[in-house]
Structure 1
């Protein structure tokens, strides 16, 4: 679900304090977009939102969530928006977030 090598790379690149800030911003922005996902009926808006979510997810190593967003992005681009299940996207994010937060806790130096 999580590509930990990407997480470690980002944390090393920006440092612990900035990493914590990036994580907080990521969670806030993604959760805001996920809240809107259920209300989007326009295929273009849905495609843009899923593209944003995919890119954000890839930056922080949420690989399974990014893959599901990419699938939805393609479906919206092909005019198959009705095939996109917002509940599956949100569920995948929630599971990914749980795994991510637990993994971060385990990675903290003691």
Structure 2
């Protein structure tokens, strides 16, 4: 669900203090985008929203979530917005976020 090697690599590249800022910014921006998705993102904006979420997720190692966003983005790009499983995307994000926040302190201490 989380690519912890990606998380570790990012932290090493930018340092601990900047990493904390990146995590805070990521969570803030993605939570806002997820709220738009939960509120019923219009079909003509769905592809763009999922593209943003996919890219953000990849940057912080949210693998399962980014994979679902990529599939949804591809469907939306073909005009098949009704085939995008928004509920599943939201569920996987919620699980990924909880896991990330739960395990992050221990993983950073290692």
Q: TM class by shorter-chain length?
A: over 0.9
Name 2:40's counterpart in structure 1.
Answer: 39
Structure 2 unpaired stretches of 5+: none
Please name the residue that 2:97 is paired with: 97
Please list the CA deviations of residues 37-76 of structure 1 after superposition, one character each: whole Å capped at 9, or x if unmatched.
1322233x10011000000000000000000000000010
Check if 1:84 corresponds to 2:84. yes
Aligned-residue CA RMSD in angstroms? 1.3
Query: Structure 1 runs of 4+ off > 2 angstroms?
Result: none
Which residue in the other structure is 2:74 paired with?
74
Q: Which runs of 5+ in 1 are unaligned?
A: none
SS of residue matched to 1:8: helix
Query: TM (normalized to structure 1)?
Result: 0.93
Q: Deviations over 1:59-104 (max 9, x none)?
A: 0000000000000000101111011122211110010011111221
Normalised to the residue count of structure 2, the TM-score between the two structures is 0.93
Which position in structure 1 is the counterpart of 2:27?
27
Residues matched between the structures, number: 109
